[in-house]
Chain A
Amino acid sequence: MKTQTPYPQGDAFHASLRTRYRVATIWQILFLSALLIAIVALTALLYKVVDGAFGYIAYEYKDDPAEFTPTPVNELTKEELLVILKEELSSGAYNKLNNEQPMQERSQADLLNLFLERLVRIDTKGTWSMTDSLLHKAEIQAEVKEKYSNAKLEFRSWLTPQFLVTPMSSKAEFAGVRTAILGSLWMVGLAILFALPIGTGAAIYLQEYAPKGWFTSLIQTNINNLAGVPSIVYGMLGLAVFVRTLEAFTSGSMFGVTDSNGRTVLSAGLTMGTLVLPLIIINAQEAIKAVPDSLRQAAYGVGATRWQTVWHHVLPNALPGILTGSILAISRALGESAPLIVVGASTFISIDPDGPFSKFTALPIQIYQWTTLAQSEFHAIAAGAIIVLLILLLTLNASAILLRNRYQRKY
């Protein structure tokens, strides 16, 4: 006879085991459904974006292309287009275009766009989403035929290589995101130029030098809290400090630039830099913390000073982590729109930013601007711009991951 045990034996044990597995299964299903909901939400978002970026467009020519040239639109050569534009455009308009980029240097596609935009003047009658275009092709064709007898109907991808390199335009069909991309890059570049050295420096000081005490922890707590402050607050700060107070600096008047006010890409960059500064500091601190103490002690043990230890060992080993953090901070800055609106990004600008004192716009601003317009073709290019923004962000995050893996911790 076995001695009495407080644990279930035999069948009772198997029964209790079955119960345990059942409970586990229920939880597993719950977790799986949470994941599925997340996937569905993400898919819906992507679908919505892609859905808008492709689809049918119905348009008419306000002036018949045949009035300008006997050649069909699709077969026009660069030379023919040059001649037509030179003849038909007003000399003022032609010179302005020529100043932006000499006509001879422009591509055939560019010239064709100019021809269609300025001379033939396309008039969009309607756009349809990708889903509609694919599922209700016949109905759309019937509708267009009935309503706009002269209209051409074609399936169009709003996201084209052309879209990336074309500046802003008031006509959606000819608008691009070049100005916005360049504006975003300038802004992010300035932001990181400002925030990376300062953030890293602050992190090094906090981690390696600052004496532990109430003052240091106060600063630390503040930095942690600053990372959670709504971005619009940074916009207000940027407006007050960079746009207004430091206008002489941010407008460039200090350096002899005259045609500008404080609402420059520099102000935006500094504002964004301030916004990501806490993130960079916290990230750099984590990276520095991750450098094992044994390494510092090894350096001190052979008679290194604190500075030598930090410069030769702590910093090089923390650098991949710091850079990874910075890239993620860049992604954050790239996606922000609220502070830019406050700081004064232009909503319509077709001139590329060419320096820190330029006026600028940024991708999120551009997207926001387009979605607020009534015409459906602007919603379509907004969708295209969103895809561009998403790809940019994904690329940055991917490079952060690559960097992290490439310099996987050696110790």
Chain B
Amino acid sequence: MIRKTFESDIQQVKDEVLALGSMVEHAIIGSVEALKKRDIKAAEKIIAEDKDINKKRFAIENQLMVLIATQQPMAHDLRLLASTMEIISELERMGDYAKGIANINVRMGEEKLLKPLIDIPRMAEIGASMLHRSLTAFVQEDVAAANAIPMEDDEVDALYNQIYRELMIFIIEDPKNIERANWLLWVAHNLERVADRVTNICERTVFIATGEFSEIKSSDDEFWEKQKKNK
């Protein structure tokens, strides 16, 4: 194989992306877990660890820049490196969502949860799983998987809608609940965004493999369309 060095550099980048992905996964699950237990120490740890995620993202970005500058990638290689640049920025933002959840946990202070968490951990689990599998699809350039994963976003959206309605009922019952309901709504919204970003990763994977830009499905659009209908 010609370009052995380049190949192994690319493999290394992919490994790093997987590592970054597992950090983000861990942060998402962990932040929701901490919220569920109202464990502020754990939340603070996740906020601190987000710095590592950012650091890792910049490290990979730098690695990509060096590869682009020194290896002059073309065609597939170019698509891979350019898209990876995009993917790590998506991952970094997912990390920010997890950090956001942890921040809410910290800001809630001594306050109790409005209700026991059931659907929100479910959302986190699904989102983390989608993320995990989307990165596997990215590494293997599995177009079929990349096209299938975004479909699961529906489930996340459904859960989000359910949570939204539940929390609205709490607010209507007692306006004093507004702040606590709002915190949970925020958390759910962050998790919904995570699933959207997974869709972006899948779109990139399809582009890397085929060279075609295809919008797989904008769950965002669908969500707002549904909102419109609900009105």
Direct touching of A and B (C-beta under 8 Å):
no
